[in-house]
Chain A
């Protein structure tokens, strides 16, 4: 299968923008691996997403989409709860970082499948959904992700009683 060489293309792209030092993507050896403890049909699932989405409050103004990248805070964990029973109409894609050429991000279920997961749970393919899904911030600093965000995701998944975790980048 032909696939897009994203590493090469991002290096070329940033070189054209005037950055001379290419970003060093993480290159890791063999990953850890633990078997499923029980069938998915009996497991509680948490989804962890890197989508730049926010919740539209019931009683306040909608969050304002921002232009460009959200630089965030590299000195604290940034892991946010999104109720797994939320209607997708209450979720808004607010990141300006994403290119809109092929799709405009209006359908949340194409990258944060909150509705589809409920349907598959109702069908019995998944035992249950945890009370919350989690949103993390994509980050250039691998150290920040490893040392601050990942441990916070683990803590929250354990508190949510997760048996399995589905991770969805954008």
Chain B
């Protein structure tokens, strides 16, 4: 719900003249709700601005987002960041909402 809520708010702010940028990790939900500008980080939900206990990664993600912001030239674009949650292992993507999901 977070991604949808934030996207709807971003559209309202921009409609009233305030430039926005939305970060996201649920790309499909955000793309459907369609905020003016977005940066996508392919990490598990709950880590929208970087890896826990990794300040350098967090700084880099935000630096990339700020660098992308002035470069958007049309509405609804999503910039994909290149970082991976765990190098060489995207297993977390398979585990989202699987049969063991509610144990956590």
Let me know if A6 and B29 touch, CB within 8 A: yes
Rounded to whole angstroms, the CA-CA distance of A7 and B19 in the bound complex is 27
Let me know if B55 and A116 touch, CB within 8 A: yes
Question: Which secondary structure dominates chain A's binding surface?
Answer: loop
Rounded to whole angstroms, the CA-CA distance of A142 and B12 in the bound complex is 12
In the complex, residue of chain A having the shortest beta-carbon distance to the beta carbon of B95: A101
Instruction: Give the number of chain A interface residues (Cβ < 8 Å).
Output: 74
Let me know if B101 and A169 touch, CB within 8 A: no
Known pairs A28-B32, A170-B46, A170-B48; A145 contacts B18 (CB<8 A): no
Instruction: Give the number of chain B interface residues (Cβ < 8 Å).
Output: 71
Residue from A2, A6, A140, A145 in contact with B9 in the complex, judged by beta carbons closer than 8 Å: A145
Known pairs A10-B97, A31-B11, A105-B46; A113 contacts B27 (CB<8 A): no
Let me know if B58 and A30 touch, CB within 8 A: no
CB-CB < 8 A to B19: which residues of A? 34-37, 163-165
- Is there a chain B Cβ closer than 8 Å to A102's Cβ? yes
Let me know if A109 and B14 touch, CB within 8 A: no
Residue from A109, A146, A154 in contact with B49 in the complex, judged by beta carbons closer than 8 Å: A109
- Is there a chain A Cβ closer than 8 Å to B70's Cβ? yes
Contact mask A29-46 → B, CB, 8 Å, 1/0?
A: 111111111011000000
Let me know if B9 and A150 touch, CB within 8 A: yes
Contact mask B1-40 → A, CB, 8 Å, 1/0?
A: 1111111111111111111111111111110111111001
Chain B interface (Cβ < 8 Å from any Cβ of A): 1-30, 32-37, 40, 42, 44-53, 55, 58-59, 62-63, 65-66, 69-70, 72, 74-76, 80, 85, 90, 92-93, 95-97, 101, 104
Q: Can you pick out 28 interface pairs between chain A and chain B where the beta carbons lie within 8 Å of each other?
A: A27-B32, A29-B34, A30-B76, A31-B11, A31-B34, A31-B35, A31-B76, A32-B75, A37-B19, A48-B9, A100-B104, A102-B92, A104-B52, A105-B46, A107-B52, A110-B50, A112-B49, A113-B62, A115-B55, A125-B66, A149-B9, A163-B18, A167-B6, A167-B20, A167-B23, A169-B2, A169-B25, A170-B2
